[in-house]
Amino acid sequence: MSSRIPFYFLITLLVIAGAALSLYRHDVYGVPWTPGEKRALWELEARIEFDAIGDPVKVSMAAPETQQGFTLIDESTSSPGYGVALIDTDMGRRAEWSIREASGKQVLYYKTQMLVDRQASFSIEPPNNDVPLSVSMDNPQQTAAAALLSRARSLSADNVTLTRELIKALNDKSNQNASLLLNSMSREQALMNLLSLEGIYTRMVGGLQLEDGRRRQSISPMLEVWDGENWNLFDPQSGREGRPENILVWNQHGHSLLDVIGGRNSNISFSIIAQDITPQQATRDKIQAEDLLNFSIHSLPVEEQAMFKTIMLIPIGALVVVFLRIIVGLKTSGTFMPVLIAVAFVQTQLLPGILGFLLIVGTGLIIRSYLSRLNLLLVARISAVIITVILIISVFAVVAFKIGLVEGLSITFFPMIILSWTIERMSILWEEEGAKEVLIQGGGSLLTAVLVYLSMTNGLVRHLTFNFIGIQLIVLALILMLGNYTGYRLSELRRFKPLAES
């Protein structure tokens, strides 16, 4: 019999290494053990894409500044081969990239970290001394604008209330004057033109909605109106006044968000992720240290961080499955199918996910029972099942949308290949063992998926797995220890209960 000492040494080494890495990040870099106990930091990444045509390229992008509710902590760029500068211009702070010659697909990154700070120190820049934007309108448009301004002026008391009334008028579909203006210009442009006719300074800025884990998000146009002392923010679509806590103004001075010279088909998108940091970290010039012991997912681009936030939860799901199968003795259809189903539940939410799973598998089993009569070869049969699952998901998504159940659209997150093999296994099991065994394994799989979902959506678990890479080593050690267990399962105790009583 071989010695178990190397095995126990490996387990001990994994636990010590995982715990040491976690303690190091907590003590030295101040990463909190629990979510929400420290200050919030938003990490935002702008991804610029364009096609260079072989000429000199110059790219200029508006960069955010310290503003109401947010303090700029750090910013950086990633642009191989490009010269980069962060400069202050008469159009506000901007990031500029330049290169003598470039061709083909180009991708540039700009990353900034904004600390949530109610005491943020920033200066309010009044509009310049020039007159407001001049407006050119034809006679019908001027008549409609005068009518809208006349009514809004009678219902308002200052610049802010006038803007509020104008937004209400533009949102009124029965207002013929508003409809005439909106037929030839956007809502934002119409609002700026109306306010300019009244001699009110305005500027169009970009609002970015902050939501943890968002990828490929775009800027929403928002309007700022000068009331003589401050800039007041408005949502031109909804008419909402004021600055919501989850809105960051990106191009604060109202100038262009992105200018590209020497390229075409330019596009900019944003990825967002949230962190919790200590007050000590919040005051540092650099939030993330550049050494090996501070190994962290945070060093990746934000878009990839959002993806890894889910990936890093999969080992927790694997640990739950191993425990339920080896210690509890719960039967499942497939070894780690419940983990993938639980990942789908994270996207769909629990109840819609369970209903979708039951509908797909139930319908698939009915269709699979017909395919078994055709005596197809395995490859052809499983391919037919995959196509059937895709059709089932498509039909259910369309029906859900038609009847107004928007939650039903999330059924597309289910792993189609895994569901197809699950249906195949359950069908074979039905033929060999009977319906009872199918219910036992299917119910065990669903119960396991639910338990994995609950563990993966726990706030503390999500925080620890994402912020402490050492936790993965401890999880690996636990799985290896469970894999070494050769005793009775909990489900077997009932079988041997009579022996214990005799």
Q: Count the domains in the chain.
A: 3
- Nearest residue to 167 via CA among 99, 225, 210: 225
Structural domain for 150, as ranges: 139-249
Whether 100 has a pLDDT exceeding 60, the answer reads yes
The H-or-E segment that residue 47 falls in is strand 39-53
- Claim to verify: residue 320 and residue 456 sit in the same structural domain: yes
Token pair recorded at residue 240: 């909402």
- Claim to verify: residue 50 and residue 104 sit in the same structural domain: yes
Mean pLDDT of the chain: 79
Kindly give the interhelix angle for 435-456 and 337-348, rounded to the nearest 10 degrees: 60
Which residues on adjacent β-strands are paired with residue 406?
Answer: none
- Claim to verify: residue 77 and residue 215 sit in the same structural domain: no
- Claim to verify: residue 344 and residue 440 sit in the same structural domain: yes
pLDDT in tens, 104-155: 899 999 999 888 877 677 777 777 654 455 566 777 888 888 888 888 888 8
- Claim to verify: residue 189 and residue 315 sit in the same structural domain: no
Token pair recorded at residue 165: 């009334």
- Claim to verify: residue 119 and residue 143 sit in the same structural domain: no
Quick one: average pLDDT of 281-306? Answer: 55
Residue 84 within a domain: yes
The pTM assigned to this predicted structure is 0.52
Residue-level pLDDT at 289: 38
Residue-level pLDDT at 385: 78
Residue-level pLDDT at 292: 45
- Claim to verify: residue 88 and residue 144 sit in the same structural domain: no
Residue-level pLDDT at 284: 46
Residue-level pLDDT at 288: 44
Residue 410 within a domain: yes
- Claim to verify: residue 115 and residue 193 sit in the same structural domain: no
Rounded CA separation 43/111 (Å) = 7
Whether 431 has a pLDDT exceeding 90, the answer reads no
Residue-level pLDDT at 300: 67
CA angle 23, 25, 27 (to 5 degrees): 65
Token pair recorded at residue 411: 């059924």
- Claim to verify: residue 406 and residue 270 sit in the same structural domain: no
> Residue by residue, what is the 3-state secondary structure of 106-122?
EEEEEEEEEEECCCCCC
